[in-house]
Amino acid sequence: MARLEAQDRKDPMPLPALGPLAAGIDEALVAFGVELGAGAGPGAVPPLRELYAQLASGNGDGAGAPDLLLLVQLDEMVDATNTAAGLLGLRAGVSPE
């Protein structure tokens, strides 16, 4: 489970709702490696903006949205990942099959 080290709490709580977004970012990084290493042609990265929106709205696990501080940082990560995907010619926002 992903944990939020930036929480105001002294004992950070696990945030299983981060799982889909974390997995999407991991998948995007693998796609970057494949594209940079082999130039295998047009690939795709997961729908990170969609996954972020689900997390931010609190959908999925019923625990509500994470702290605003975390959401701001994740938003930056999603933007950076999608930008890198575009620069590499990868299609951003393709749902996993």
User: Could you report the per-residue pLDDT of 31-66, keeping only the tens digit for each?
Assistant: 888 888 766 556 788 999 999 999 998 865 556 778
For residue 74, the model assigns a pLDDT of 92
- Reported as a pLDDT band with limits 50, 70 and 90, residue 17 is confident
d(CA 13, CA 78): 23
Joined together, the tokens standing for residue 47 give: 């729908």
Q: Over 60: is that where the pLDDT of 97 sits?
A: no
pTM above 0.75, yes or no: no
- The Cα-based distances of 37 to 31, 42, 46, 83, 84 in angstroms read 10, 13, 19, 19, 15
Among residues 77, 78, 54, which one has the least CA distance to residue 65? 54
Considering only residues 13 and 69, tell me which one the structure prediction assigns the higher pLDDT. Answer: 69
Instruction: Evaluate whether 55 touches 17 at the Cβ level (below 8 Å).
Output: yes
Q: Over 90: is that where the pLDDT of 70 sits?
A: no
Among residues 61, 87, 35, 9, which one has the least CA distance to residue 21? 61
Please report the sign of the dihedral spanned by the C-alpha atoms of residue 10, residue 15, residue 21, residue 25: positive
